[in-house]
A and B are shown apart, each in its own frame.
Chain A
Amino acid sequence: MNNQKSIAGLLIGAGLVLYAIILKIGYLNDVLEYLEQAKTIDVHSGVALWVGIIVLLVGISNFIVPVGRFKHDSIVRAPAPGIGILILLCILNRYYLEPIFKIWGKAFQPALGFDFATIFGFNYILLGIIIGFLWANIIKIPAWMLPGVKTGRLILKMAIITMGAMYSITEIKHMGSLSIIMIFVFVMGTVFFVLWFGKFFETDKSLTGVLASGLAVCGVSAAVAVAPVVKARSIDVAYSIGMLLLVGVVGLLVFPPVGKAVGMNEIQFGAWVGTGLLNSAQVAAAALVFDPHTIETLKVAEIFNITRVLILPLIVLVLAFWYAKGEAAENVEKINVGKVLIDKFPIFVIGFILMFALMSVGFFTPKGFELHGKDWYNFTPSEKKQLKKEELAKIKNFVDSGSITNPMVKEALEKLLVDKQITSTAQADHVLKAQDFTKDKELKKLFKDAVKKVHEKPITIEIMREYMLWFFAYGLSALGMQITWQSMKQAGGKAVAVIGAITGFLKAFLSFWVCLFLLKETI
């Protein structure tokens, strides 16, 4: 905060409002039509308008009264201009640059032999990170934007909390047990590997401890969390942070194209980034670069990431005891196990769990909707969901033929004949099972269609998903601006670089094979 009157917010807010108006009037319709984004105009102008109005109003106040005059200026008045710029950047990336890259990718396909935009994942998430990084490191982020850029971390946390509402109990159970095993093995494996490696290289014990935590758990924040308990010097922390950032950025750029090239599915890739990539934010980024428009990969990756973050207090304790073992008693502070566990507990996970709990008890579920497995159903009777007469006749023939040996299936089909549509999740399951009793492809399709007709996602969930993607796009663009070449250059010392590079690579490599060959199923 510079205690000066600033016109930045006013100009940016006015720009956003003006853009929203131009969009509404329809001046850009042809362009958006060409970019195949015409359908997005409502959401997109809405975001521009509302953010624009807020930034404009705050901007006017910043122009009249210098920022820094009031106590809470750091919360609203200082960040507003930066927030406006970030929203503009998101709009630019999502609705203009991504479609342009898509068109270019197709255009160059004959010459290159592959679609570079798809293979390298040049979507709005990656473009946001790249533009942010280049901006921060080549042009420099102006001081008035910094408070806005710093909101990125909070917004990312909000995105992850919102994500809690996107899971069903089945998914959490399935992915949760998978992630607990994988994360535990890989985190512990990495810790012991780095400790052994440090001994081998005869690195300073404190430095080894910081590296072990950072490389094993969730990157920079884990390294910092462990620093005090292993009595690290600030220079050790600086070196390690630089190295962790560098390894993380390389991973972020390498993981998505590799995953695409070998044709990983969303579970394989999500599990791989969640295990093999270092920093939490980069896990979300890589998952979204891989698969930006459905959130299936992100859902898997985030479960892995949360499992990993939850294991951090345990690792802090393990490393504290490891450090204390060889030290003289007077050099060691007593470790308060309870305090470590509470201090290092990631609070946003509580928000995530709360959202999941609210979702599970149906808080966000509108009347008539039901979540079963990972699918949404709406059984409210309506004509659209009913099967046609000839279809019902076909099913009736099949039931009468007596080839169904399962009485539950038979009962479900008989009920379907009466109601003309499916009315419960149990019935839907049994109707799907009826496929096993026939070889007739048409009949099989008929059963699937009957279930498809009652499939329906509630609009509230769709809206939450859309907001969540905005949060991620915003937070990750800000993240790009927060990756500075300067701090990566801090990756000093031969031992730090060697341990970091080898461990980072091995972890990515091993988890890659595990995910590719052992995770065959889909949810």
Chain B
Amino acid sequence: MKKILVATDGSAQSFKAIDRAAELAKNGSAELIVVNVAEDFCPLELAEADCDVIRQLLIKEAQSIMSKAIGKLKELGVEARGIIEFGSPAETILEIADREKVDEIILASHGKHGVKKLLMGSVASRVLEGAKCPVTVVK
């Protein structure tokens, strides 16, 4: 069965990618993996203990995004597996794609940082550059 990775950062844009993935995976025609990358925020100025506190906030946020995404897919009648990981978004998405040996990556052209003038945001373009499988960029 085909394996599809769909990335979300919680933004409305990225939920368009979820819609698209749901279409492809309908009727159990593909296995769906939802990925959310929590951007580790630990500037040098912070003590390690402070970074841990922030990480806990990030994990909570990631979990709420994930349950929203999985919930939406369920409404659309698609079962999906969620993965939350810390790291820089593009690299982590590629890493998970490699590890899970996915056949396709779906993500939005812009996420929460989106500047609409550009053709696509930095995460989408870096994933496109580095991916070893077909990538669908949803506008």
Contacts and interface: CB of A to CB of B under 8 A. Distances in A.
Task: Answer yes or no: are A and B bound together in one complex.
Answer: yes
B57 A233 contact: yes
Interface string A233-256: 110011001000100000000000
A312 interface: no
Given A220-B50, A221-B50, A224-B50, A149 B44 contact: yes
A224 B45 CA distance: 12
A234 B43 contact: no
Nearest to A248: B45
Contacts of A457: none
A490 B41 CA distance: 11
A486 B43 contact: yes
B43 A227 contact: no
Contacts of B46: 220-221, 224, 241
B61 A234 contact: yes
A228 B55 CA distance: 11
A227 B57 contact: yes
Contact of A234 (B47, B50, B57): B57
A234 B57 CA distance: 6
Contacts of B45: 220, 241, 245, 482-484, 487
Contact of A237 (B44, B47, B54): B54
Contacts of B58: 234
A481 B44 CA distance: 8
A487 B57 contact: no
Interface string B28-68: 00000000000001011111001001101110010000000
A483 B43 CA distance: 9
B40 to A, nearest CB: 10
A58 interface: no
Contact of A233 (B44, B50, B61): B61
A238 B41 contact: yes
B58 to A, nearest CB: 5
B44 A482 contact: yes
B65 to A, nearest CB: 12
A260 B45 CA distance: 28
Interface string A254-295: 000000000000000000000000000000000000000000
Nearest to B50: A224
Contacts of A484: 43-45
A482 B54 CA distance: 18
A237 B45 CA distance: 13
A487 B54 contact: no
Nearest to A221: B50
Nearest to A219: B45
Contacts of B54: 224, 227, 234, 237
A424 to B, nearest CB: 47
A228 B54 CA distance: 9
A234 B41 contact: yes
Contacts of A136: 44
A221 B43 contact: no
Interface residue tally on A, bucketed by range:
20 to 34
Contacts of B44: 136, 149-150, 481-484, 487
A140 to B, nearest CB: 12
A241 B50 CA distance: 11
A153 interface: yes
- Among B43, B46, B58, the most chain A Cβ lie within 10 Å of the Cβ of B43
A481 B43 CA distance: 11
A232 interface: yes
Contacts of B53: 224-225, 227-228
A232 B57 contact: yes
A220 B57 CA distance: 16
Contacts of B43: 241, 484, 486-487, 490
Nearest to B43: A487
Contacts of A227: 53-54, 57
Nearest to A487: B43
Nearest to A490: B43
Contacts of A221: 46-47, 50
A232 B61 CA distance: 10
B48 to A, nearest CB: 8
A51 to B, nearest CB: 23
Contacts of A237: 41, 54, 57
Contacts of A149: 44
A402 to B, nearest CB: 67
Nearest to A483: B45
A1 to B, nearest CB: 15
Contact of B47 (A153, A232, A245): A153
A38 to B, nearest CB: 37
A403 to B, nearest CB: 63
A482 to B, nearest CB: 4
Interface string A9-31: 00000000000000000000000
Contacts of A225: 50, 53
A483 B47 CA distance: 13
Contacts of A483: 44-45
Nearest to B42: A487
A237 B40 CA distance: 13
A220 B56 CA distance: 17
Nearest to B51: A224
A493 to B, nearest CB: 14
Interface string B115-130: 0000000000000000
Which are the 4 A-B pairs with shortest beta-carbon distances? A487-B43, A482-B44, A224-B50, A234-B57
Given A228-B57, A232-B57, A484-B44, 13 more contacts: A136-B44, A150-B44, A221-B47, A224-B46, A225-B50, A227-B53, A234-B54, A234-B58, A237-B54, A241-B43, A482-B44, A483-B44, A487-B43
14 contacts: A136-B44, A149-B44, A221-B47, A224-B53, A227-B54, A228-B53, A233-B57, A241-B45, A241-B46, A245-B45, A481-B44, A482-B44, A484-B44, A486-B43
